[in-house]
Chain A
Amino acid sequence: MGIPFFDRLKTGLWDENPGLVQLLGLCPLLAVTTTFVNGLGLGIATLAVLVTSNALVSATRRWIQPQIRIPIYVLIIASLVTCIELIFKAWFPDLDRSLGIFIPLIVTNCAIVARAEVFASRNSLGPSIVDGFVMGSGFALLLMVLGAFRELLGQGSLFAGLEMVLGGTAQRGLVIVDGGWLLAILPPGAFFSLALAIAAKNMFDRRREQARRIPDSATRQTR
């Protein structure tokens, strides 16, 4: 695999972002992104599961017959999610309480089984870990952006509850205005925010595509 790390990173964060482009794992993505900190917490947990599951699937790929690969992926992912949940309960108990059922539900995040099937089962250990990292980062970043956006609109604050990750006393975060636009925190707000994010990405890509084409045609005309 000769693809440089930064190109892989760009693929995971932008070109093939699991949430924005592949539209995978939308259930936790829509349900959890009510605040930045929730997005960060679930993002870290998903990232950790993706990296370790890609590593395990890749390391065992020689012994796994194709007929039983799916139950084995499920087994590996479910065990890793249980481990991550225990680790969260031990070291980030408040965050675990705030995310609730969505940590165990990482098992059902199809972004993870998709990476196992599409990438880790066909590539060696190193590239699989990198793939888990870049795809997990893309998902985590989207969770954080949506969380920050909805928190800002819905509660008028940013980074509230950061003590759940960093420790220390309870904080209200950066309060910009008191109260906010409730719809942003309710479920419809999740769909609107995701739609806006996808639209913004597509718009940006199209602009860039056009900007690349115009100089091309300009040079052709002068010839």
Chain B
Amino acid sequence: MPMSDVNVIKGGVTLAVIAAVCTALVALTFALTRDRIVANETAWLERNLQPALAGLFFDSGITESKLTVAAPHNLPGTDDASIYRVYAADAPVAALFVVSARDGYSGPIRLLVGIDVEGAITAVQVLEHRETPGLGDRVEAGKSDWVKQFAGRSLINPMPDGWAIKRDGGEFDQLTGASVTPRAIVNAVRETLLYFAANDASVFAADDLAAPAEGNAK
């Protein structure tokens, strides 16, 4: 065998051995951290869903009855949306929608929209975003009270003309220096309310919402 072939085989074997060692290292770390990571994610979700449940009585676990709405759907966002439903003695109490507003200033904004069984908003919370620090990021609950104005709103409060920021002639406050972010969020919240109004029976009953309900197709 020529010398260069021996080198190629030696190199290949070395590479394979090191790849196997590295894979084993990652697999071991994964096995050691898996339980903690799952627990952290559940805790994070429950902590983030909590504001939308303040003052409500329910006895089901928050993350127990998760419903995944596969894209494409009529909720805001192009990726799969999630609905967490809470019940009191099997009667529906509220549905918490995790959706994304597509048209943020820099990329989608992940939103939690809590809607009670009457169709009124319990709370809106921004979960993830990449808006400009100091301008658009004031939609975060920790940075300003802006998202609090949604509590108690519904499709008839305000009436459809009012579902826009003040600059566009609506009823919702904007943020100084940032109107794209608030506009995106107001629209996404309204679309979520429309979806709930069109599907409220199936939202609480179904185990799986594969196809959008009839009559609500865009």
Residues in chain A within 8 A of chain B (CB atoms): 34, 60, 63-65, 67-68, 71-72, 75-76, 78-80, 82-83, 86-87, 89-91, 93, 97, 154-155, 170, 179-180, 182, 185-186
Contacts and interface: CB of A to CB of B under 8 A. Distances in A.
Contacts of A97: 44
A63 B29 CA distance: 25
A55 to B, nearest CB: 12
Interface of B: 7, 10-11, 14-15, 18-19, 22-23, 25-26, 29-30, 33, 36-37, 40-41, 44, 132-135, 142
Nearest to B29: A83
B134 A76 contact: no
A76 B29 CA distance: 14
Contacts of A64: 14
Contact of B133 (A34, A75, A83): A34
A93 B10 contact: no
Given A79-B25, A86-B37, A91-B36, A72 B18 contact: yes
B19 A75 contact: yes
B29 to A, nearest CB: 4
Closest 9 CB pairs of A and B: A79-B22, A90-B33, A90-B36, A83-B29, A93-B40, A182-B134, A86-B33, A68-B11, A185-B133
Contacts of A185: 133-134
A182 B135 contact: yes
Contacts of B11: 65, 67-68
B134 A68 contact: no
A32 to B, nearest CB: 13
A154 to B, nearest CB: 7
A146 to B, nearest CB: 15
B36 A79 contact: no
Given A89-B33, A170-B142, A79 B26 contact: yes
Nearest to A34: B133
Contacts of B15: 68, 71-72, 75
B26 A83 contact: yes
Contacts of A34: 133
A162 B33 CA distance: 23
A2 B7 CA distance: 35
Contacts of B22: 75-76, 78-79
A176 B14 CA distance: 56
A60 B14 CA distance: 10
B20 to A, nearest CB: 10
A190 to B, nearest CB: 12
A196 B37 CA distance: 40
Contacts of A83: 25-26, 29
B27 to A, nearest CB: 10
A182 B14 contact: no
B59 to A, nearest CB: 28
A89 B37 contact: yes
Contacts of B26: 79, 82-83, 86
A86 B14 contact: no
